[in-house]
Structure 1
């Protein structure tokens, strides 16, 4: 049994699923958002949670069980901007299987460090805007624009994508920056939209305009972050289908494995306590995605063609 630093059993990611995935897809499916947590690499002291192990071996088992050939590894917040775990995982998986999304400090990262990340298989950087800035939406918007513009300026020479973990309400403030970006801009987890907020939620119309114009990419990822009615998420279907109708050529799918918690689930838990991963039926999530897509051609775009192009496989 694997234990955490405190000797208690460590949370383990689920690698199975009870439901049947969609039928065969022509091409290599890409899971565009997974994390690796390796106890051999220290977490940042100022982290907001402590995950259990989710190693490269665990990831291989998960992908094989799901019938997924490739993955995009995203630097999790618990490692800050120390990308050592990410780089090691990319080396272990190899360029035929994996690409990486790193986290950097654009004000201090040296050019040679960015070049080294690119050689390691990194194709983008992530900016966490979910909690950045002040309480007011205008202050948060200004802080977000500054952070994204600075990051784009640093990584554009390498052609890196810029991936944003952002609240949907901030998208209008970022719209001009996103539209003018010389590199792909990718929004995590349904771009922060929530099924419960309905079709009139702030920022959705602007998001749909950007999507229809081909100026933004959206990850249909972490269904449990956008919807509440597991396992089929009928509450999320109208939003997903609206995004697909707007532009299926700018959407990619991701599991968000190993399914960390968040928000209210962390209330009352110390940041150093090991947080259990969610139990998620990823096979069913894939099947639901195919149902939302509506046909084999659109499903293949989202699972294979779009991510292969975006993440340069």
Structure 2
């Protein structure tokens, strides 16, 4: 198991707090391997990235809601997510790892659904493992439709363009992670941005504005990712959401302070109304939260 940098230990308050009801559309929780055994072949573990630490990050940043996304570290065993959902309360929902469809039974899926899980993440990153074969992918898509869950897609490092054929027949809501893993060195004309825009035109596809710090090839302050995010927002502002991706798994460089990432998003969306749409209204619609009280 390779060594990677841990999350920033001291999240600060952002210069401007986000609007009430802001949702972190992807963060992960992990824990003590004695309690939550890692999957054989897992690419990483981060036992200090507990739900308590995640809640502290959200309190510092002014985040009200969040989606706990099962990591590949635990595969189909969602014990850590179930425990975190119980502890963190009704303003949090869960997203399963798609391995659950190949390795667990209907009773387990019902348990996840009852606990607040209403989506599943399909990883296409071969290096992390946990990638379903084509037959299991099709079967899992059918079960998502039956359950009323959304599909979440983690593209390979080289981007979403290579995966669009696999998604072409999927008619349920699809959330594509990390701006499709565009190549920032190619700018807004990168093939992954072009492919992602075509996917957004389908009407059932959403994009998560996240991982700017890793997509950037220039490094902080990540100027090269701003136009990528802005072109996606301009193309489909009603189907963009934002996420910290805390605790920033498999980081080859020290992750920035999470407030830096929220402030990077503010550069993507300078208008206050647009920020509220992406941080509050859009995730409420996609993830099934009630409207935040005005």
TM-score, with length taken from structure 1: 0.81
**Counterpart-to-counterpart distance in 1, 2:169 and 2:145:** 12
Which of residues 18, 22, 25 is equivalent to 1:32? 25
Decide which of 100, 108, 113 is 1:113's aligned counterpart: 108
Q: What is residue 75 of structure 1 aligned with on the other side?
A: 70
Aligned equivalents of 1:18, 1:170: Cα separation in 2: 32
1:65 is aligned to 2:60? yes
Partner of 2:67: helix, strand, or coil? Answer: strand
Per the TM alignment, residue 42 of structure 1 is displaced from its structure 2 partner at its CA by 1.2
Deviations 1:194-221 (A, max 9, x none): 2123333333322112213423111111
Distance 2:147 2:157 in 1: 27
TM-aligned CA deviation for residue 238 of structure 1: 1.3
Task: Spell out the pairing of 1:218-297 with structure 2 (5 A cutoff).
Answer: 218-262=207-251, 265=252, 278-297=254-273
Which of 275, 279, 283 is residue 299 of structure 1 equivalent to?
A: 275
Counterpart of 1:33 in 2: which secondary structure? strand
1:102 to 92, 96, 107: 96
Shift of 1:296: 1.2
In the alignment, is residue 167 of structure 1 matched against residue 179 of structure 2? no
Q: Which runs of 5+ in 2 are unaligned?
A: 290-294
Contact 1:259 1:278 in 2 (8 A): no
Distance, in Å, in 1 between the alignment partners of 2:177 and 2:143 is 21
User: What do residues 7-31 of structure 1 show as CA deviations (whole Å, max 9, x unaligned)?
Assistant: xxx95652413751x3552x30000
Q: Please, which runs of 5 or more residues in structure 1 have no aligned partner?
A: 1-9, 133-139, 266-276
Q: Aligned-pair distance for 1:57?
A: 1.2
Matches within 5 A, 1:105-144: 105-131=100-126
What is the CA-CA distance between 1:250 and the residue it aligns to?
0.8
Q: Give a deviation string over 1:159-202, Cα, whole Å, max 9, x none.
A: 11111111386645543553543321111111121212333333
Rg larger in 1 or in 2? Answer: 1
Q: C-alpha distance in 2, partners of 1:16/1:170?
A: 29
- Match status 1:217 vs 2:217: no
Q: 2: distance between equivalents of 1:108 and 1:207?
A: 30
1:199 pairs, out of 184, 188, 191, with 188
Give CA deviations for 1:264-291 in whole Å, capped at 9, x if unaligned: x3xxxxxxxxxxx833122222122122
How many pairs are equivalent? 280
Question: Contact 2:159–2:182 (CA<8 Å) still a contact in 1?
Answer: no
TM-score by length of 2: 0.85
Distance (whole Å) between structure 1 residues aligned to residue 223 and residue 137 of structure 2: 33
